[in-house]
Chains A and B, each alone.
Chain A
């Protein structure tokens, strides 16, 4: 158990819908990262937050957004869902925003878009 929790574990929805994925980092970790794992694209970095502020953006679509709240949990919002958004979404946390800090991964949320 990494100490990072993600809810829900599974999510099945229809095209065009909007969903919210939630992540609670390890106690004391200030930095949260979101990754997408799909068959087509592999494991890709989406976005990073540190202590409530966005720090880095990767290959995140405009239909996707994220935020980190004062209690440090983070939410990833996916809207106007398409079939290709079906993937495993991981959240990871680390102690600081600087490099070279180990990232601890949550169990992931599997999103299926029908």
Chain B
């Protein structure tokens, strides 16, 4: 069975600084997708970034980028130039071939002014 682990329940960062959120996963699949979702206080689930396992190049979306290490089954999220609006719960997720999303426990990020 696939599992996703986020080992940092809480993190904080100063505005304009850079922060990295960690995620590891376990699977026997060779092809899959990985995601980072953001859940602000409104509770809406917002897709931040997506990585296809067959692509070696790390995905980037503006201030958000990932460090995907397939052999190590690691998928960290880097947020550059942190903004107050980045304060949220962040979930790492694995998508299996059937399309089911498996989520980690989440990391609560606080961006401080």
Give the interface of A toward B (CB within 8 A): 2, 31, 33, 35, 42-45, 48, 55-56, 58, 88, 90, 92, 94, 97-105, 107-108, 110
With a cutoff of 8 Å between Cβ atoms, the chain B residues found around residue A103 in the complex are: 99, 101
Closest to B95 in A: A99
Report the number of A-B residue pairs with Cβ-Cβ less than 8 Å.
60
**Could you say which of B99, B104, B105 contacts A94, with CB atoms under 8 Å apart?**
B99
- Verify if B30 is at the interface (C-beta below 8 Å from A): no
Given contacts A90-B45, A100-B52, contact A56 B91 (CB under 8 A): no
B105, A42: Cβ atoms closer than 8 Å: yes
B99–A101 touching, CB < 8 Å: yes
Q: Is the interface of B mostly helix, strand, loop or mixed?
A: loop
> 4 other contacts beyond A99-B97, A99-B98, with CB at 8 A cut-off?
A55-B99, A88-B43, A107-B42, A107-B44
Q: In residues 87-113 of chain B, which contact A (Cβ within 8 Å)?
A: 91, 95-106
- Residues on B with beta carbons closer than 8 Å to the beta carbon of A2: 44
Contact of A33 among B44, B50, B52, B99 (CB under 8 A): B99
> Across the interface, which residues of A come within 8 angstroms of B64, CB to CB?
none
Q: Decide if B33 touches A99 in the complex (CB within 8 Å).
A: yes
Asked if B103 and A43 sit within 8 Å, CB to CB, the answer is yes
CB pair A56 B50 closer than 8 Å: no
Residues of A within 8 A of B96 (CB): 99
Given A33-B100, A35-B101, A105-B45, decide whether A43 and B91 contact each other with a Cβ distance below 8 A.
yes
